[in-house]
């Protein structure tokens, strides 16, 4: 229904938004979820809508405290859409919701993490801080490859060791830079570990399959790079050759 309603929202915005308010309080979770999905700025496979990013937020103010994960997941997805254009609008709203305490704290923490997933991949400092990770934390990190050359279809293996002068939570990701046709380079961020870090340090290993038959992403031989990211900041990097 959310896809079918979007043309009506574009042509009769006031009338449809008025109806959204009645649906936001409906006893059926499908109807409540429809409110967040219909007004999302980036609904997958859906028509774009002419709403300002802030216009649906009063509706989300109501729905963020919903008792159903089916609805709160949709609210978080809606916020994640907004972060593509205005991260601070979302971060400010999440702070308001924390202060308001209308939602169970554990559920709100889950919603916050899900809503900020795009910003976390990008290493956004304020998003990292909101999730409890200090981007400026003093961390020593080292990454080592098992082999400096890997063939398409094989597995890239690497290990890393992290230390900190004091105990602190860390979010460890790695970013792979891929060669693309025409000499361009693209990057993708992958999750590695959430951990507590201290003087004893933490050692991690990873095996990343370099599939040669993926239909959505074709690997190209050449020099590639791995960056180790801790709390959104690059701490170490290494290069390897991808062979045909």
**CATH code of residue 49:** 1.25.40.290
Query: Which of 70, 97, 130 is at the close of a domain?
Result: 130
Q: Percent of the chain scored above 70 by pLDDT? A: 99
Task: Say yes or no: 54 and 115 in one domain.
Answer: yes
Q: Quickly state the pLDDT bin for 213 (edges 50, 70, 90).
A: confident
Q: Quickly state the pLDDT bin for 128 (edges 50, 70, 90).
A: very high
The CATH code of the domain that includes 233 is 2.60.40.10
Task: Say yes or no: 231 and 158 in one domain.
Answer: yes
List, for residues 172-192, the tens digit of each pLDDT value.
999 999 998 888 999 999 999
Task: Say yes or no: 69 and 154 in one domain.
Answer: no
- Rounded Cα–Cα distance for residues 211 and 178 (Å): 13
Query: Which of 106, 130, 154 is at the close of a domain?
Result: 130
Residue of 236, 217, 163, 221 whose CA lies nearest to 195: 163
List, for residues 51-98, the tens digit of each pLDDT value.
999 999 999 999 999 999 999 999 999 999 999 999 999 999 999 999
Task: Say yes or no: 47 and 126 in one domain.
Answer: yes
Range of the domain at 47: 2-130
CB within 8 Å of 108: residues ≥ 6 apart = 64, 97, 98
Task: Say yes or no: 118 and 168 in one domain.
Answer: no
Indicate whether this model's pTM tops 0.85: yes
Identify whether the C-beta of residue 229 lies closer than 8 Å to the C-beta of residue 235: yes
Query: Which of 130, 159, 175 is at the close of a domain?
Result: 130
Identify whether the C-beta of residue 223 lies closer than 8 Å to the C-beta of residue 239: yes
Task: Say yes or no: 119 and 183 in one domain.
Answer: no
For residues 97 and 198, the model is more confident at: 97
pLDDT at 216 > cutoff 80: no
pLDDT at 209 > cutoff 80: yes
Task: Say yes or no: 125 and 6 in one domain.
Answer: yes
Question: DSSP characters for 60-110?
Answer: HHHHTT-S-HHHHHHHHHHHHHHHTT-HHHHHHHHHHHHHHT-S-HHHHHH
pLDDT at 214 > cutoff 80: no
- Rounded Cα–Cα distance for residues 90 and 237 (Å): 31
What's the whole-number mean pLDDT along residues 151-155? 95
Residue 175 within a domain: yes
Dihedral angle sign, alpha carbons of residues 91, 97, 98, 103:
negative
């Amino acid at each position: 229904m959310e896809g079918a309603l979007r043309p009506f929202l574009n042509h009769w915005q006031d009338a449809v938004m008025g109806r959204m308010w009645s649906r936001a309080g409906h006893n059926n979770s499908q109807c409540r979820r429809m409110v967040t999905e219909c007004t999302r700025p980036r609904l997958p496979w859906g028509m774009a809508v002419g709403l300002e990013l802030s216009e649906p937020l009063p509706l989300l103010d109501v729905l963020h405290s919903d008792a159903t994960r089916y609805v709160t997941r949709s609210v978080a997805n809606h916020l994640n859409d907004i972060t593509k254009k205005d991260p601070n609008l979302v971060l400010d709203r999440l702070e308001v919701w924390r202060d308001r305490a209308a939602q169970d704290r554990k559920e709100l923490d889950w919603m916050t993490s899900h809503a900020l997933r795009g910003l976390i991949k990008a290493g956004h400092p304020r998003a990292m801080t909101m999730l409890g990770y200090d981007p400026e934390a003093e961390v020593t990190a080292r990454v080592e490859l098992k082999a400096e050359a890997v063939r398409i279809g094989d597995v890239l293996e690497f290990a890393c060791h992290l230390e900190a002068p004091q105990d602190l939570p860390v979010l460890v990701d790695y970013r792979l830079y891929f060669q693309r046709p025409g000499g361009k380079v693209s990057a993708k961020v992958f999750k590695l570990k959430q951990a507590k870090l201290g003087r004893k340090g933490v050692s991690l290993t990873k095996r990343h399959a370099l599939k040669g038959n993926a239909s959505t992403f074709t690997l190209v031989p050449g020099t590639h790079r791995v960056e180790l990211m801790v709390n959104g900041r690059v701490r170490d990097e290494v290069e390897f050759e991808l062979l045909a």
